[in-house]
Amino acid sequence: MKETVTGMVLSAMPVGEYDLRLLLLTKERGKITAFASGAKRTNSPYRAGSRPFSFGSFEVLAGRNAYKLVGMNISNYFEGLLKEIEDTYLAFYCLEIADYYGREGIDGSESLNLLYATFRALERNQISKKLIKSIYELKSLAINGEQAAVGSCYSCGEEEGTFAMDLPARVIYCSHCAPRVSRPMIPLSKTVLYALRYVTYMPIGKLYHFQLKEEEEKNFNDLANRLFTGVVHKDFKSLGMLESLL
Ligand SMILES: [Zn+2]
């Protein structure tokens, strides 16, 4: 049966001489594989839309192990991401993370919205790319239920005041409780805590609407990186190159 899904191309693998195996992140079906027959031919209607980053609606037929692509209507190719190599690698890194968390049969709307909002932010080019990377990593943790509990003190529930983070446990303690917990803690400035809470709890549409001063951004990025790599143990292909560029 034919169905139409909204999604983005995560990757395209050649199969034989002319076909492509597309990995799509879709709102309705999560991550699915769709075979695009003849998509590598120069006159194929699927050629342009089979590139990674292509976003739109895809018509697919369910097969036994995979879907067959029978139509597409691309609304955004995100070609702007190809203008600067930092943007391209950062966007590929985001796709790899979406692929890492993606499963068939789950609701993919939040991951898809996050990719879309992140790529728009990269194209707008108004906030630092390192900050965009950190926000994407932290929000990926949050929408997959692996965020740090930054709302209140893990011990007493206090929400106001000065806090420090127990990084491996991904919880925070207030200044009253922190000394009683004999674990190494990372002090959090008010700004860094505010940014952590903002990214964790704000809707995706509002994520890329803040900037930080240089020193605060550096601390925030370091913390985001340690939180993310503490949870996600995977060597992403694009990361080595990305880190040498940013
Ligand atoms: Zn406390």
pLDDT digits (tens, 9 = 90+) for 23-66: 999 999 999 999 999 999 999 999 999 999 999 999 999 988 89
pLDDT digits (tens, 9 = 90+) for 191-225: 999 999 999 999 999 999 999 999 999 999 999 99
For residue 222, report the distance from its CA to the centre of ligand 1, in Å: 24
For residue 177, report the distance from its CA to the centre of ligand 1, in Å: 4
Confidence of residue 174 (pLDDT cuts 50, 70, 90): very high
For residue 212, report the distance from its CA to the centre of ligand 1, in Å: 27
Using DSSP's 3-state secondary structure scheme, residue 148 falls into coil
What domains are there in the chain, each with its CATH number?
1-77 (2.40.50.140), 85-246 (1.20.1440.120)
For residue 85, report the distance from its CA to the centre of ligand 1, in Å: 45
pLDDT of residue 182: 87
Checking if the pLDDT of 98 tops 90, the result is yes
CA distance 194 to 134: 14
CA distance 154 to 125: 37
Checking if the pLDDT of 1 tops 90, the result is no
For residue 149, report the distance from its CA to the centre of ligand 1, in Å: 13
| Distance from the first to the final alpha carbon of the chain | 45
For residue 92, report the distance from its CA to the centre of ligand 1, in Å: 40
Tell the residue number behind the tokens 């879309």, with chain if given: 116
CA distance 225 to 219: 10
Residues whose Cβ atom is located within 5 A of ion ligand 1: 153, 155-156, 158, 174, 177
For residue 172, report the distance from its CA to the centre of ligand 1, in Å: 8
The pTM score is: 0.96
